[in-house]
Amino acid sequence: QQQVRQSPQSLTVWEGGTTVLTCSYEDSTFNYFPWYQQFPGEGPALLISILSVSDKKEDGRFTTFFNKREKKLSLHIIDSQPGDSATYFCAASPTNSAGNKLTFGIGTRVLVRP
Amino acid sequence: EAGVTQSPRYAVLQEGQAVSFWCDPISGHDTLYWYQQPRDQGPQLLVYFRDEAVIDNSQLPSDRFSAVRPKGTNSTLKIQSAKQGDTATYLCASRGTGDAETLYFGSGTRLTVL
């Protein structure tokens, strides 16, 4: 069972454009939602995250939106740059003292063309 | 501050051979995770530790996979009798007690089983 669904699987945008990635989940206990960025040959690195008590979080050119009722979230990258070309993963977990068991989506491969 | 260090970087095996992966987490991080990332997929949790104790190994194929963290610092993941389906990148991540949510990933070991 795929608990975290991510779309699209790949997309291409022009430099300066806006990249929009979407994610949905099923487990109602999930309340922490990070987005990770992964370049070829490297491990994923945290880009931005949001807790279920919020509906929006912004960090520079990156904004994540969260809709608890629909169990959906999205990542928007404005003024996309060629250096943003990477694979982006949404993830989810319940936050608890026992640990942070992240469940990852399949990823979206983003190519930003100059 | 040094990041999460993994070795080897690459491994190529014939089916039936054994292999070990080594991880050195960020100093002071008490929680350590091993993830398996098949090609073009998101990371999937195999096992995680808090200090030297296994917290969850329910996703570890116990008949061929084993993981230890004897002193609560470095960790080793071992595959006995590798199969072609084990071909993937094996990622180690760590998390500190002060930064409750963020997982820091190493660059991974890319395993190919022929």
Query: How many folded domains does chain B comprise?
Result: 1
Q: Within a domain: residue B60?
A: yes
> Choosing among A102, A103, A110, which should be mutated to test the B contact, i.e. which has the most B CBs within 10 A?
A102
Task: State the pLDDT at residue B98.
Answer: 62
Calculate the CA dihedral of residues B75, B79, B85, B88 and round it to 10 degrees: 30
Residue A108's domain spans which residues?
4-113
Task: Measure A107 CA to nearest chain B CA, in Å.
Answer: 6
pLDDT at B99 over 60: no
CATH number at residue B38: 2.60.40.10
Nearest residue to A33 (alpha-carbon basis) of A96, A76, A91, A88: A91
Task: Measure B87 CA to nearest chain A CA, in Å.
Answer: 15
How far apart are the C-alpha atoms of A112 and A18, rounded to whole Å? 10
pLDDT at B97 over 80: no
CATH number at residue A100: 2.60.40.10
Q: Are A81 and A62 in contact (CB under 8 A)?
A: no
Q: Within a domain: residue B105?
A: no
Q: Within a domain: residue B114?
A: no
Q: Within a domain: residue B14?
A: no
How far apart are the C-alpha atoms of A16 and B38, rounded to whole Å? 32
pLDDT at A96 over 70: no
Query: How many folded domains does chain A comprise?
Result: 1
How far apart are the C-alpha atoms of A100 and A73, rounded to whole Å? 19
CA separation (Å) from A80 to A18, A84, B56? 6, 7, 39
Residue B89's domain spans which residues?
23-94
